[in-house]
Each structure stands twice: as structure tokens, then as C-alpha cells.
Amino acid sequence: MDGLTVDDLLQVAARVVGPDVAVADHGLLAAAVARVGATVDGEDVYATPVEKAAALLHSLALNGPLVSGNRPFALAAALVLLGLHDEPAGISGPDAVALVTGVMTGRVETVGQIARALRGR
């Protein structure tokens, strides 16, 4: 499995935000899913599970597809994706919150930066 589906993301959102989670834009969820699975000339744009999780976090944190709760949702979705690939996260607690905040405020701008942080580097 490469990534999560929109339905998977909605399940993550319901667990993190609550069962009455409100989606502001389903298209942004679909775009995040598509980004993770993107290929060019038959090659994955994001080759590793960590890069895929970083791209997912980046898309969800920056685009805010939910009415509220995008910060914990973006982090949880990335961690779920890592877990699907049996890839340990090298970040947790305050560092994880700071990472998502950094993405949302523009201090952390690239998928590469996010991937390094998810690896704990």
C-alpha cells in the first residue's frame, strides 16, 4: 500500500478531531492523496514512506481541508501513513507539534525538511 485514501483520511480525522468532523474542502483531501501517489515517467515522486508522509503532512497542514483541527489531523495522518509502512517516526510530542506549526507558518517549507524531521534528524 502506497498511501491512504480519502476515506482513510476521513477516518483519521474522525478519530483525531471527533466523529462530527467538518470538512471544508473534500478536493483538498483528494489532492493530498493524489500528491502522495504522484509519479513521473513511472517513478514515484516521493520514493520512500517518510517522503510520502512528509508530502501528506505538507499538503494537509498548508491547505487545511478541515474546518478545524488541521494541525493534529495533518500530524496524525502522516504518522498513520508511516505506520502502514512499518516505518518508525523519529519525532513525537512537542517536537512533532512544532514541526506542524512550522509548516503552517512557513518556517518549514519543503518536503525534504519535513522528512528529515520525521526521521528525527
Which element (helix H / strand E) includes 44? strand 43-44
Domain that holds residue 47: 6-119
Instruction: Please say if the pLDDT value at position 96 is more than 60.
Output: yes
Q: Is 1 a member of any domain?
A: no
Q: Is 72 a member of any domain?
A: yes
Contacts of 1 (CB under 8 A, 6+ apart): 84, 85
Q: What is the pTM (predicted TM-score) of this model?
A: 0.95
Rounded CA separation 60/19 (Å):
19
Q: How many domains are there within the chain?
A: 1
Q: Is 77 a member of any domain?
A: yes
Mean pLDDT for the chain? 94
Which CATH number do you get for residue 14? 1.20.120.1870
pLDDT in tens, 38-75: 999 999 999 999 999 999 999 999 999 999 999 999 99
